[in-house]
Structure formats: structure tokens, C-alpha cells
Structure 1
Amino acid sequence: MASNDSESAGDAAAPAPVATPVIGITTYLEQAQTGVWDVRAAFLPKVYIDAVTDAGGIAVLLPPQPVSPSTARAVLGGLDGLIIAGGADVDPARYGQQPHERTGVPRIDRDTWENALLLAAIESELPFLGICRGAQMLNASLGGTLVQHLPDVIGSEKYQPAPAEFGSIEVATVAGSRVAALVGERHPAHVYHHQAIDVVADGLVVTARSEDGVIEAVELTTVPFGVAVQWHPEENSEDRRLFAGLVEAARGRVRVPERETSSGIGPTTSTQEHA
């Protein structure tokens, strides 16, 4: 029987599957109330989840838990990208300091969890994005230090005007950086931090500052996508460029099964190409 050329041509022209990256987001572990319950719970503001899904990713939550290097590697083995979310102050003991009177009670379980995830992500070159606390955690994990109370240095509360009130600043990015490529030369930013990066860890490059010199973004240039910003991009629902950058970098790592063939479902192949 003659072959069906039109079927063959149609099969050849079929589009490849769209890669949908799975992005893990670290969560809070705090006392929380819901209904009649008042318990410690893992949670995350929905704006983080929206930011990932708006950018074309799948969000998976990563609550603090006992961790070892092998556990961290196992967790990241099921992900294509990682976000270290905002939250409480990093324990000053982690960067060799005594706590300032305005430094919050440390969440040592979360510090330990995120430190392990970050180091494993760097080792495996998994794309990652740090947000606010996430930028501070990255710096501390790699040996840098923090300013524990920014108003002592700049004489202003503008980076954290009041409880639950975001400040508004403009950051200037460094030409040629990944952050500049994603958000442009100057970028309006929602901020809510009373701490900041002080001594920059070896390997990190400062790629954005505020007008008074506060470090607002750093990058780890030895990995395909290692970006951390001090501001809160998840709060701007009209601008998902940083999340889109992470998702795009993560897309190169997605495991995509082969398309169906005329004889049935093809074998699953696994690719781990870096963006």
C-alpha cells in the first residue's frame, strides 16, 4: 500500500511540546491562625505564586524542614528553578555578628533550609532568583555580611516606611548585567527592608543600587542564572520581567517526553541542558 505522504509531512511539522518549568519557592514557617486553629504553619503570600504562573512556570512550595546536602540535592532534582522568598531577618550569627536591637528573632530552621538549597542550586547550576531576604541569604551563605539596621547608616526609614507599607524607590542597574537586560537602566521598585548587603561575598557582583548607594541587586556570574534583588518584584503585577527571566532560564532544564509516534507513546527522554 502506498505511503501517506501528507500524514508524514504533518507529523514532521508537528510543534514540539512547550516546556513548562517547575519553580520551587521557599516559604515562611510561622504561627498562623485559620478558623479555630492557631498553629505553626508553612505559608507564602499568593503574589509569589501568581508571579511564577504569570511568567509561564509551575509553582511548588518548599517549606522549611530538616535538611542535609543530599536532601537539598534531592529536592532540587525535581525542580527547574528556585526562588528564595522574602521574610524575616537572617540570623546575624550566620555572618559573625551579634544581633542589633532592631534585628528580628532569627528563624534558624529557615536559614538552614535556604542555605542548603542555595548551595545545592549553585553546585548544580540550577537557575535561581533571590527576593529581599533571599538576596541577604545568598550573600550570607557565600561569606558576606549585612547592615542590620539600614536607618543607622542612611538616616531614613524610606526602605521600610511602616509596618506592612512598601516604600517606593528607583534603582540604577549596571550596564551589561542580567538585571539591566531584564528591567532596563533605571527601574522603579517596591521595597520593604530595614537591612541590606554590606560586605559583598566573593563571587557576587553588585548590579543595581539605589540613589543613596544601597545595594539593590547582586548576581552570581558563574552560573547560568543567579540573580538576587533587594526589592519585591512580586508586588508589581504589571511587571513580571524578572520572573520571566528565571522561567526562561529554567525552561532549558525541563524534562520533555518525546511526542507520540504512530506506533504509540515514545520512550521518555531526559535532558538537562543549561540555559
Structure 2
Amino acid sequence: MLRPLIGITTYVESSTRYGVWDVPTVLTPTGYHRLVQAAGGAAVLLPPDATESAAEVLSRVDGLVIAGGNDVDPSRYGAQRDPRTGPTVAERDEWELALIRAAVRTGTPLLGICRGMQALNVALGGTLVQHIDGHSAGNGVVTWHPVRPVPGTRYAELVPEESDVPTYHHQAVDRLGRDLVVSAHAVDGTVEAIELPGETFALGVQWHPERGTDTRVMSGLITAASRIPTPVP
């Protein structure tokens, strides 16, 4: 039986040095594809493309991971930029928001991780808190804190108990996007997971499961991706 093929979004670095080369490069941390593989899927990397190609690209995969990364531009959710908001990349925002909307429209199973959860919320009309403290150790150092599932949600089915998760973020979900519900909180009340109720698997988590060893969230995506036919544009 073929493993479900999971597309993972990537980002472009304008200058990357390796060997004798210094060239623009498409990147994503290795933790993402390794987590997909550990959960029983096959991984393929998705570089930014024209937004009108989103449904076509999704027709070639069984599931989608929106990876973590830079902040979503506040203009995408109608907000003025906070001085503490980091650099944004228009090409990435446009592509990933188009992928998310196409995935929701076609029923393609979707998992958003960190920025990916925030992008899911923004894609469906929600907003973000542009800065919070206490959810990273600073300077790229991941910290850990407990997350509490909301009973009755898909996330609670996957991870029914409070668990410690690896986290690194300074923004969070504020107003929920269309039809989304909260499915986990941090102890301080920060939204840590959101999802679309119903048959379609569309889940976002604010932490970084690819930095840990717990495969349950990704396994949920893989299971959903193995139950549906490849969508058509």
C-alpha cells in the first residue's frame, strides 16, 4: 500500500552558502519531513508558486503541512504593524494562504504548525496578537510548556491528556477565523490549537511537534490523508 503523500511548504532564502555556491535556496527544516515519515507518510516539499496553482498542486498530494516560519504580514488581517512584529514575506503569505483556502475548499487534510496555525486562522478571516512573552527562550532556543486539550475536539481525540510541547513563538491567535474552534490552551490561556469541526481534517497547533518525538498530531493527518481520494482542482 502506498504511503499518503504529504506536501510541506517551504520558504526562500535569498542568499545561502554551501560549497562554492552562494545562491537563493528553497528551505525547510528537516524535522518536518522526518516527522511525516515517522508517522507513516511520504514527504514532498512545496516551493512557493502562483496562487492560482494552489488547487492544482493539492490535487497531486494527499495531505498538506503549512510549516512554521516568519510572521504573517498584519495587513493580511487588517491590522497596523506592531513594532515587535518581525520580517514578513509577501510571496510566502500569498502562496500559503491560497493553499490553505484551497485545502479547506477541496477537503484536503491540513496541518498548520506554528506560523501555519496562524496562517490558517488568517486565511479564514481571523486575526492575531502580534506579540506575547513567555513562549520561547529567545535567540532561536525552543522551550517547553504544558498544553491542555479542549474536551470533545479532534485534537483531544489525538492527545487526550495535558502534555508538554516544544514551543517557539511570539504571536498567537486573537479573533478566530470563520468556523474555527479552539482545541487546546496553554496554562496562561494562550490558544495553542485550532480546528475546523466536521469531517475535514484541518488542525493547527501553535507549537513545533517536529522538534519533539510525539507523532500523534502528525499521525492524525496521515490517517486522514489515507482515507480520501486525491482531490481534483
Contact 1:90 1:133 in 2 (8 A): yes
Mapped pair 1:251 → 2:226: yes
> Gaps (5+ residues) in structure 1?
1-17, 152-157, 256-271
Q: Which residue in 1 is equivalent to 2:70?
A: 88
Mapped pair 1:209 → 2:185: yes
**1:39 CA drift (Å):** 2.3
CA distance in structure 2 between the aligned counterparts of 1:191 and 1:126, rounded to whole angstroms: 26
**1:67 CA drift (Å):** 2.1
**Which of 64, 78, 97 is the equivalent residue of 2:60?**
78
Query: What secondary structure is seen at the aligned counterpart in 2 of 1:181?
Result: helix
One-letter amino acid of the structure 2 residue matched with residue 44 of structure 1: T
Q: Which residue in 2 is equivalent to 1:66?
A: 50
Contact 1:122 1:223 in 2 (8 A): no
Q: Which residue in 1 is equivalent to 2:120?
A: 138
TM-score calculated relative to the size of structure 2: 0.95
Q: Which residue in 2 is equivalent to 1:34?
A: 18
Q: Which residue in 2 is equivalent to 1:161?
A: 137
**1:187 CA drift (Å):** 1.5
Contact 1:19 1:254 in 2 (8 A): no
One-letter amino acid of the structure 2 residue matched with residue 131 of structure 1: I
CA pair 253-216 structure 1, distance change in 2 beyond 3 A: same
**1:33 CA drift (Å):** 2.0
**1:160 CA drift (Å):** 1.6
Give the greater-gyration-radius structure (CA): 1
One-letter amino acid of the structure 2 residue matched with residue 252 of structure 1: R
Q: Which residue in 2 is equivalent to 1:258?
A: none
Q: Which residue in 2 is equivalent to 1:263?
A: none
Mapped pair 1:191 → 2:142: no
> Gaps (5+ residues) in structure 2?
none
Q: Which residue in 1 is equivalent to 2:4?
A: 21
Query: What secondary structure is seen at the aligned counterpart in 1 of 2:55?
Result: helix
**1:204 CA drift (Å):** 0.4
**1:84 CA drift (Å):** 0.3
| Larger mean Cα displacement after TM superposition, 223-232 or 122-131 | 223-232
| Larger mean Cα displacement after TM superposition, 222-231 or 239-248 | 222-231
Query: What secondary structure is seen at the aligned counterpart in 2 of 1:185?
Result: coil
One-letter amino acid of the structure 2 residue matched with residue 22 of structure 1: L
Query: What secondary structure is seen at the aligned counterpart in 1 of 2:51?
Result: coil
Q: Deviations over 1:155-200 (max 9, x none)?
A: xxx2121112011110110111111111122111111000000111
Q: Deviations over 1:228-273 (max 9, x none)?
A: 0000011113x11111110011001257xxxxxxxxxxxxxxxx7x
TM-score calculated relative to the size of structure 1: 0.81
CA distance in structure 1 between the aligned counterparts of 2:169 and 2:187, rounded to whole angstroms: 16
**1:223 CA drift (Å):** 4.4
CA distance in structure 1 between the aligned counterparts of 2:150 and 2:138, rounded to whole angstroms: 30
The percentage of aligned residue pairs carrying the same residue is 47
Contact 1:19 1:251 in 2 (8 A): no
Contact 1:165 1:192 in 2 (8 A): yes
Mapped pair 1:54 → 2:38: yes
Q: Which residue in 2 is equivalent to 1:9?
A: none
Contact 1:191 1:230 in 2 (8 A): yes
Contact 1:72 1:116 in 2 (8 A): yes
Mapped pair 1:179 → 2:163: no
CA distance in structure 1 between the aligned counterparts of 2:194 and 2:111, rounded to whole angstroms: 10
Q: Deviations over 1:182-230 (max 9, x none)?
A: 1122111111000000111121000100011000000011442111000
**1:101 CA drift (Å):** 1.2
The CA RMSD measured in Å over matched residues stands at 1.3
